[in-house]
Amino acid sequence: MPRIAGIDIPEKKKIRFSLRYIYGIGPKVSDGILKKLGIDGERRANTLDDKEVAAIAAEIDANHPVEGALRRQVAQDIQRLKDIKSYRGDRHRKNLPARGQRTRTNARTRKGRKKTVAGKKGIKG
């Protein structure tokens, strides 16, 4: 199983799809790396020789933040928003959507299960 950037990638899949298993590498970056190195993206990952795997790993290490470093960077960015008490930081702190989505309905992924409030509908005023 080829290891690129410290991650085992699937060897039966085409290399352009296998690279996407690395956190921080999506379709565009994957295709760009392969194009830059002159490797056909339709080849299976297990058909690459050690030289090509090393070239891919070197390209990723040199030019793309991936895995732990990228996760740390994202966490630091969110912490900075919280520290400066921005609106987005406040939304992260409260575990609510940070990008302007509605919360009156939906947003269940961020808000969690419904918390029923007893007697809310029965109050007439």
Q: Which domain holds residue 78?
A: 68-111
What average pLDDT does range 100-121 have in this prediction? 86
What average pLDDT does range 28-34 have in this prediction? 95
Q: Please state the pTM of the whole predicted model.
A: 0.77
**18 and 5 Cβ atoms separated by less than 8 Å:** no
Q: What is the pLDDT of residues 45-77, one digit of tens each?
A: 999 999 999 999 999 999 999 989 999 999 999
Which of 26, 43, 63 corresponds to the end of one domain? Answer: 63
Residue 46 inside a domain? The answer is yes
Kind plus residue range of the DSSP H or E element containing 4: strand 3-4
Tell me, yes or no, whether 79 and 106 share the same domain.
yes
Tell me, yes or no, whether 58 and 80 share the same domain.
no
Residue 99 inside a domain? The answer is yes
Which string of b and e fits 90-117 if b means at least 16 CB within 10 Å? ebbeeeebbeeeeeeeeeeeeeeeeeee
Residue 35 inside a domain? The answer is yes
Residue 87 inside a domain? The answer is yes
**Based on the structure, what is the number of domains in the chain?**
2
On the question of pLDDT at 107 being above 80, the answer is yes
Which of 43, 63, 83 corresponds to the end of one domain? Answer: 63
Residue entry with tokens 């919360």: 103
Read off the CATH number of the domain in which 100 is found: 4.10.910.10
